[in-house]
Every structure is written in structure tokens, then in C-alpha cells.
Amino acid sequence: SQQGEEDPQALSIQEGENATMNCSYKTSINNLQWYRQNSGRGLVHLILIRSNEREKHSGRLRVTLDTSKKSSSLLITASRAADTASYFCALRNTGFQKLVFGTGTRLLVSP
């Protein structure tokens, strides 16, 4: 399967704590992207990491990629209640074709 598998499926933390989500996959990729989805809404692109990159930062987001282990992680630092959402990794294969989404991590940040 080209789909990414995310872990954990659900995560509950307090405001101010860090949240880490992981994505594992099986195929060769060109890039890996992370998206956020608020309940009942469309998805919003957060950050992208290319296969030749190991780490990227954007604001409170840090994403890592280990192509040897075929895994990526998304870290949200100093979480806020507004970060409550579902987070999905998405894989772009080496043929630049469709983007395949993972199963998602549902994050709940309590005030």
C-alpha cells in the first residue's frame, strides 16, 4: 500500500506541552507533506519535506524524515487549544503523481 500509517491514532495533551506524531510508509517518495483538518472542514497544508532533507522547521512545527527507516515525525511545540485537529501525513511518490494520505492522528489539546 502507498498509504502512510500514523501513530498514535489519538493524542490528548495539555496546553503548553509538545505533541509528536509519527508517519511510517513503505514506498519510495519524492516528498512527504503534513496537513491539518479541523472537524468537518477541508485540509490545510502545514509543511513539506523533500526526500533529500532530514529536518525542517516552520514556526512551532518541526518535521523530520528518515528515508532509511521510511518514517517521518511532526512535532508541535508549546501546543495551544487551537491546535486541536486531525493531522495527516501525505506521500508524493517518485513519479510526481497523486498525493496519498495517511490514516491521521486526532490531537486534543486541553486548556
Residues lying near another protein in the complex (CB under 8 A) = 3, 30-31, 33, 35, 40-45, 48, 88, 90, 92, 96-104
* Bridge-based pairing state of the strands 5-7 and 10-14: unpaired
| DSSP code at position 78 | S
Nearer to another protein, 42 or 111 (CB): 42
CB of 77 to another protein, least distance (A): 22
Give me the sign of the Cα torsion angle 27, 32, 34, 37: negative
Is residue 63 within 8 A of residue 73, CB to CB? The reply is yes
Nearer to another protein, 40 or 59 (CB): 40
CB of 16 to another protein, least distance (A): 27
Nearer to another protein, 10 or 81 (CB): 10
What residues are paired with 18 via a beta bridge? none
